[in-house]
Amino acid sequence: MLNLIHNSESDAAHQPGKEPVRRLMFASRSRVTEAVFTTMLGTRADAMRHNLADNVYVALLIQSGWFMEWIEGPETGVQALLTRVLADFRHHSAHVLHESDGARRLTEPWSMAMVQTHESEADFGNRVLALHEEHCQGHRHEPTAVWRRLSTPQTHPGAADQAIEWNFQRVMVVAALGTDAFNMVRWLGETHAADVVHRRFVGSSEQYGDVATDYVDLPTGIVVRRVIAMSQNGLKIGLTRAFMSDYSHVIVLLSGIPGRDHSLLERLLSACAELTHRPTLVGVGPTADHHVSLRQLARSHDQVYVDCEIPDETGSEARWAAAQRVLDQELTGSEMGTVRVA
Q: How far apart are CA 18 and CA 73, in angstroms?
A: 12
Q: Based on the domain organization, do 117 and 190 belong to the same domain?
A: no
Asked whether 48 and 204 are in contact (CB, 8 A), the reply is yes
Does the pLDDT of residue 265 top 50, yes or no?
Answer: yes
pLDDT score recorded for residue 115: 93
Q: Based on the domain organization, do 56 and 130 belong to the same domain?
A: yes
Stretch 275-303: mean pLDDT, rounded?
A: 91
* Whole-number percent of the chain with pLDDT over 70: 91
Q: How far apart are CA 212 and CA 203, in angstroms?
A: 12
Q: Based on the domain organization, do 193 and 86 belong to the same domain?
A: no
Phi, psi of 170 (to 5 degrees): -105, 125
pLDDT score recorded for residue 13: 39
282 within a domain of the structure (yes/no): yes
238 within a domain of the structure (yes/no): yes
Q: Based on the domain organization, do 178 and 260 belong to the same domain?
A: yes
Asked whether 324 and 292 are in contact (CB, 8 A), the reply is no
Which region, left, alpha or beta, applies to residue 203 given φ > 0 means left and ψ of -120 to 50 means alpha?
beta
Domain range for 305 is 165-340
Residues 6+ apart with CB under 8 A from 97: 25, 26, 27, 68, 128, 131, 132, 135, 146, 150
Amino acid type, 70: W
Q: Based on the domain organization, do 223 and 80 belong to the same domain?
A: no
Burial class (CB in 10 A: 0-12, 13-18, 19+), 130: middle
User: First vs last Cα of the chain: how many Å apart?
Assistant: 66
pLDDT score recorded for residue 313: 66
101 within a domain of the structure (yes/no): yes
312 within a domain of the structure (yes/no): yes
CA-CA-CA-CA dihedral for 292, 293, 298, 304, to nearest 10:
0
pLDDT score recorded for residue 216: 97
* Structural domains of the chain, count: 2
Q: Based on the domain organization, do 332 and 270 belong to the same domain?
A: yes
Q: Based on the domain organization, do 200 and 295 belong to the same domain?
A: yes
DSSP sequence for 204-259: S-GGG-EEEEEEEEEE-SSSEEEEEEE-TGGGGSHHHHHTGGG-SEEEEE--S-HH
Answer with the one of 118, 139, 158 that is the final residue of a domain.
158
pLDDT score recorded for residue 240: 94
Cα separations in angstroms, 57 against 104, 150, 260, 284: 9, 20, 32, 35
Residues 6+ apart with CB under 8 A from 334: none
Greatest extent of the chain over all pairs of C-alpha atoms, in Å: 66
CA angle, 252 as apex, 250 and 256 as ends, to 5°?
170
* Element at 280 (helix H, strand E): strand 280-285
179 within a domain of the structure (yes/no): yes
What does pTM read for this prediction? 0.89
28 within a domain of the structure (yes/no): yes
Q: Based on the domain organization, do 139 and 213 belong to the same domain?
A: no
Asked whether 303 and 278 are in contact (CB, 8 A), the reply is yes
CATH number of the CATH domain containing 39: 3.30.70.100
pLDDT digits (tens, 9 = 90+) for 220-233: 999 999 999 999 99
Stretch 54-60: mean pLDDT, rounded?
A: 93
* Element at 27 (helix H, strand E): strand 21-30
149 within a domain of the structure (yes/no): yes
Can you name the residues that pair with 102 across neighbouring β-strands? Answer: 21
Q: How far apart are CA 199 and CA 240, in angstroms?
A: 12
Q: Based on the domain organization, do 207 and 258 belong to the same domain?
A: yes
pLDDT digits (tens, 9 = 90+) for 111-132: 999 999 899 999 999 999 999 9
Answer with the one of 140, 158, 176 that is the final residue of a domain.
158
| SS3 call for 310 | coil
Answer with the one of 135, 158, 181 that is the final residue of a domain.
158
Stretch 126-150: mean pLDDT, rounded?
A: 93
HSE value, Cβ hemisphere, 13 Å, CA-based, for 252: 32
CATH number of the CATH domain containing 220: 3.40.50.300
Q: Based on the domain organization, do 138 and 230 belong to the same domain?
A: no
Q: Give me the helix-helix angle, 75-86 and 44-54, nearest 10°.
A: 150
pLDDT digits (tens, 9 = 90+) for 165-213: 889 999 999 999 999 999 999 999 999 999 999 999 999 887 777 899 9
13 within a domain of the structure (yes/no): no
Q: Based on the domain organization, do 228 and 275 belong to the same domain?
A: yes
* Element at 6 (helix H, strand E): none
Q: Based on the domain organization, do 327 and 186 belong to the same domain?
A: yes
Residues 6+ apart with CB under 8 A from 190: none
